[in-house]
Structure 1
């Protein structure tokens, strides 16, 4: 009997210790599941069942129990009944994880949006495009190449745009041209573009020192906005999504995500220590906020001067609880609208008769960051060292978690969008598309 009691006591203590040491991970598990579920249901208009079967079906997120309150627009996720997280929908701002009960009823501002153009053909509006057949395009080979990345590669959408014309387009079951898909870290490239617009309008100078009050009495005062855009500030940051890290704590536990990177010390040297950091992107969102007199102006600017201006009317940029755009991770849009974003860069900021950002901004974002081995520019990824060996070295792209990509190929007048649930080796895919165009 004494032996049984000891065994039960040991088992009890073991369970307590396991819960104690893993409780923070439960917060991330339930937080991810609730946030992703809320956005999938209330932003992308998918069902709970579809989201659980697809987006939230990987370990350990699939261990969470999800429920949706459609009337109040709340998604709830429970981790083994030990910890529960809620995410709420706010009109115009997408969804956000709550931290306290009062967050569910707190007031908020929403961005003012420009009216959608349903008369002008795609890409400059949202009416059907004027179909053109190009004699130099091998459509059979192109469609075969596009089809090859569906199925086992978990591709959800591919759009190929050549000379402003969609020449190939395919969607997985459950998705259409009107389906909003999360771009994850492609949002960083949207952030960079906002800075390009502000630079063009002389609202900011990216070579100025970062205007962060808390840095003014230490060596961080010399960090420039340029250093931040290139993720080359030397600031400490742990971008690890498999553990409790700076990135996961920011996305799932912070009210104001713009502060997470601000509070980090220097651990490297400015302009030589490249370190990929979602915290840096959100810090830049906070710096952008401070360029405007009111929060409403900040919310409106991203849409009226960039997103809606180029007809990306499907896009929803989600904010944190403090109302800052989560520029590291949370932009939703249709694949066609992601294609418009690529076209804006293909045309060097010129859009339907108007210069949105300076032509040399493209040169700026594609300048390799010191220390990145030619793979990174200013919140864009590069092929400068030919890691895609069969693709031109001047190709650059927006890149997001699980294989969200917008490839921009200037010499070929080509934009390729791929949205997916998993990464894959994309050199052969891109090579196939290029070989389809003689």
Structure 2
């Protein structure tokens, strides 16, 4: 008997001879290799261009009447001109080498720069400003702010009298909304708002809300829960409080603190402030930071009128700002220091001023500036720092919550403030340039 398998015809191994198939594969491999080389080159070039872009600030401030050196070490050149500058007064610049600049009067200029002097690359605003001196504070403060209206932090359902789920505010209100008025009446607090909802007895309410900067009215009908109480099914907040550090005091008793804004803990949005106050506080405990768990300064705040030391008028991404009482301003010790501009900040040793003891005076602690991000997307993370002072490392493990706002000093100038800590390395963190705080 014949083997069936043996009777099957042999399939050809290739339509073309082996040497011809090899010839066809080689050009294909070359194309693939060339493609990936091109991707690598373009990726590297793109990364280099992005880094160069980041090294050039979007705005530069220089002090009037002083010679100052700019050295960004980037391969760009261009021109500086003012709004009313004549063609003959256009100034050529080369940012690839040290550039000495001086302006005699307060004025704004524009600097157009080109990559390699050829490709239009970036436009930089140049501001000539008066020299300013600030007293570094470094003192802990209690913070209380009242929101502009009632902040909606969440929308939810609840069980009604008929045991069905009720959602009166669904599709009408959302987290981040500010309720400003009810039936045309301005709100003073969440207690008043809750009372108005309960008193509605199920009648429609006209709510004036602010959402993403736009103000408009919505109509909502409260419904009863299982206890017969009228509700809207929203979670609300009308204030925030905490402990931070005052950064500076100016000649008019104006203060800046934190170096970052106060955001709602639930929505993560910057809180709209109607009013706010600073209070005296005492640091009573320090929880050291470890990798993965930030540390914290615990302070005691007594919200009595006699403990109020200042008024908060602004809550912005650059920090909180307001006016300190004269009595408290007189207690801030220290010499007023010149403001260090971005281009004057250098990598290397610096100090932070912070108070970690109950009733103690602020102390200087050594840090190292590891990197500078002159045009970083996040304006309060321009200075990358690492704590090197053994005393501070022993007390706190590095940077802890509550130290935000601690002024950063270098070469006899105030240059910034501590703002953030690295969660996985509490010895490292970020700071904001002081000129960013002053431009709030």
TM-score (norm 2): 0.26
For the pair shown, the structure with the greater C-alpha radius of gyration is 2
Question: Which structure: greater strand fraction?
Answer: 2
Higher helix share: 1
